[in-house]
Amino acid sequence: MLHPVTARGTLRLLVLTLAAGLTAPGLACADDPAQAATLLENGKRLMASGHNEEACPKIAESQKLAPDIGTLILLADCNGATGKTATAWRQYGDAADHAAQTKDPREAAARKRVAELAPKVGRLVIVPPAGAKASLGIDCDGVTVRQNEWRTELPMDPGTHRVTASTLVGGTWSVRVVVPPEGGVQTVTIPDELIGRGDTSGRPVTKQAAPDDDERPAEEPAPSDGSTQRTIGLVVGGVGVVGLGLGAFFGFRAKSKLDDSNAGHCAANDRCDATGVTLRSDYTSAARFSTVGFIAGGVLLAGGVVLYLTAPRAPVAVAVNGGAGSANLVIRAAF
Which of 95, 119, 143 lies at the terminal end of a domain, its last residue?
119
Pick the residue with more confidence: 52 or 167? 52
CATH number, residue 181: 2.60.40
Residue 86 lies in a domain: yes
Whole-number pLDDT of residue 7: 42
Which of 96, 119, 142 lies at the terminal end of a domain, its last residue?
119
Dist CA 330 CA 333 (whole Å): 10
The structural domain count of the chain equals: 3
What radius of gyration do the chain's Cα atoms show?
Answer: 40
Domain that holds residue 282: 227-310
Q: How confident is the model at residue 28 (pLDDT cuts 50, 70, 90)?
A: very low
Share of the chain above pLDDT 90, in %: 42
62 burial level (CB within 10 Å; 0-12, 13-18, 19+) = buried
Co-location of 157 and 234 in the same domain: no
Is residue 244's pLDDT more than 60? Answer: yes
Is residue 293's pLDDT more than 60? Answer: yes
Co-location of 193 and 270 in the same domain: no
Co-location of 94 and 28 in the same domain: yes
pLDDT in tens, 172-198: 999 999 999 888 999 999 998 887 643
pLDDT in tens, 65-79: 999 999 999 999 999
Whole-number pLDDT of residue 121: 95
Co-location of 105 and 145 in the same domain: no
Helices (H), the chain: 4-48, 52-65, 69-81, 85-101, 107-117, 227-262, 274-310
Co-location of 145 and 211 in the same domain: yes
106 in Cβ contact with 118 (< 8 Å)? no
CATH number, residue 60: 1.25.40.10
